[in-house]
Amino acid sequence: MADIRSCEQCGTAFVPRREHARFCSAPCRAAWNREHMGDVKAGASPLVWAITAMGDTTGRLPRVRAADGPRAFAVIGEAVWWVTIVDATLVRHHPDTYDNVMASQAPARRRLVEGTLTGLRFVRNRIGDEADLGEFIEVGGAGPDGRQRRITSWTWKPLPDPALGSLPPRGQAWEITRYRAYQAHLADHPIGETFGRAAEFLKLAAAHASPITDANVHAG
């Protein structure tokens, strides 16, 4: 069954292209933004703050020792949280900029970035439901020289199909899409590579999001 929603601006029924889509068309989205400029501007400060936090967290990943397991998993969990917070903030408050920057990527790169962000949303939802982050991470052993590898070389584990019976049909459809993206773009790949790709795109999109182009966007 198709996911049918009512446009928040004109009330027309439409099939969303994204999970959190609220409008049937770009003109309706622009009209709603004009009528609610206070809400749109309110997204500026939280985005700058979230971008800074994301940069700080992902920047800490290479500095955490693999031997410090609890801290390593805590920083990885924070990185998942901040990447998905920034992604959601951009999609909600600056959807046109987000789409334009995504469309400017080369086709293969665009598929990779979209798949990476979608896969990280899957991780966020699973650990948000109190799943153990350790279920997602393949911890690397020592390198050829006997020294412990950096946690950025740890990889995401392939996972079995998730149990989605508790979700409504619409929720199941979105979550299985996230799961497939996780399997295709995160599983067996280093976490450092994953977070680097996601953060690079989100910083680029935030830098183009008026009126928040400020030095903080480029921090980290």
Q: What is the pLDDT along the chain (220 residues), one digit of tens a residue?
A: 457 788 888 989 888 876 667 788 878 877 776 665 444 444 456 788 889 889 999 999 998 888 888 889 999 999 999 999 999 989 888 888 999 999 999 999 999 999 999 999 999 988 876 678 889 999 975 555 445 578 999 999 999 998 887 888 888 888 899 999 999 999 999 999 999 999 999 999 999 886 544 444 444 4
Kindly state whether residues 196 and 169 are assigned to the same domain.
yes
Specify whether 31 is located in the same domain as 87. no
85 close to 50: Cβ distance less than 8 angstroms = yes
Structural domain that includes position 140: 43-218
- Position 215 scores a pLDDT of 40
Residues 49 and 118 in one domain: yes
Residues 145, 49, single domain; the answer is yes
User: Are 15 and 53 in a shared domain?
Assistant: no
| Burial group, residue 90, by CB count within 10 angstroms (0-12, 13-18, 19+) | buried
What's the total number of domains in the chain?
2
The enclosing H or E element of 13 equals strand 13-14
Specify whether the CB–CB gap between 67 and 148 falls below 8 A: yes
Whether 55 and 7 share a structural domain: no
Residues 159 and 96 in one domain: yes
Whether residue 90 sits in one domain with residue 31: no
- 155-156 vs 137-138, strand pairing mode: antiparallel
pTM: 0.77
pLDDT at 101: 96
Same domain? For 26 and 110 the reply is no
120/156 same-domain check? yes
Pair 199, 55: CB distance under 8 Å: yes
Residues 187 and 129 grouped into a single domain: yes
- Same-domain status, 29 and 49: no
